[in-house]
Amino acid sequence: MEAFSTPSRSALEWCVHNPFVPETLEGWSALHLMYRIDWGRLGQAYPGERQQMAEEFAGVFAGTVASATEGGNALVQMLGHKGDLMAIAFRRSFDELGRTQLALSRCKLQAYLTLTTSYVSIVELGMYDMTAKIHRQLAEGGLTHGSDAFVTAFDEEMDRQRQRVTGRLFGEIPHRRYVCFYPMDKRRGETHNWYAVEFERRAEMMVEHGKVGREYAGRVTQVISGSIGFDDWEWGVDLFADDPVTFKKLIYEMRFDEASAKYAEFGPFYTGLQFAPAELRKLLEGELPSLT
């Protein structure tokens, strides 16, 4: 195994506060679990047993988070062949995600479930504009990049920004009927490499990209989570809406901006209907569960 030396303080400061690397702010740790239900075997169980398994699973899932300040849960009936049930968990830490996954794995319903895929990430806010702005302000204030004073002032400003957007970093899972989740990357090919583009140009493209999303404010709620180093893609995107057509229109329109047209790679899409945990029994009985 290759050994890595401990980086010096100056090296760490450069990595964290490099003006060409946009800062990010992190919130909930997020876990998506996609299951396929063995409908044949489940149908052979007694109705009372199915109800008991549904109540246990929903109860355990709810019991893994003490309050809205500690996380959130969502259950989704998936459409298509990729699975039947998706469980979404937002927690304060990976340890809490681990406890949640273990608790669900011990439920009796797991005997009828097969985990088809999963996704691990952390809710993230990219700070393209703010990173450049902070660097300009500190330089104009006479601070030298990389100095202790610069690093301290930078961290203090990032803390202020974190407090400002805490509601977005640790928001509730939207109570909306339709859900779409997909992972994505920025291209790193020979012709188009997002990470080789100058910072200022990347920032301009992200502003353009964001304008499209803001046009859909109120119609769709978007939660971006970073997964670099955690999963196979770089970001996970959760969309919540009251009309599923909104997903199609938003994603279609976004593909025409330069950030997506040249530099975006999309993974598989998982779409379904969010329902109340108490409605899991209906799903197991072959009925359409509702959100209320």
What digits encode the pLDDT tens for the residues 164-199?
889 999 999 999 999 999 999 999 998 999 999 998
> Which tokens sit at 10?
């100056």
Q: Place 147 in a pLDDT band, splitting at 50, 70 and 90.
A: confident
Provide φ and ψ at 70, rounded to 5°: -105, -10
Quick one: what percent of the chain has pLDDT higher than 90? 71
- As a whole number, mean pLDDT of residues 48-70 equals 96
State the pLDDT at residue 19: 57
The pTM score is: 0.88
Catalytic residues: 182
Tens of pLDDT, residue by residue over 119-139, are 999 999 988 777 777 777 887
Give Rg (Cα) of the chain: 22
State the pLDDT at residue 159: 85
| Residue 188: DSSP 8-state | B
Distances (CA, A) of 154 to 18, 97, 134: 11, 31, 7
State the pLDDT at residue 255: 93
Distance CA 168, CA 123 (A): 9
Distance CA 164, CA 217 (A): 19
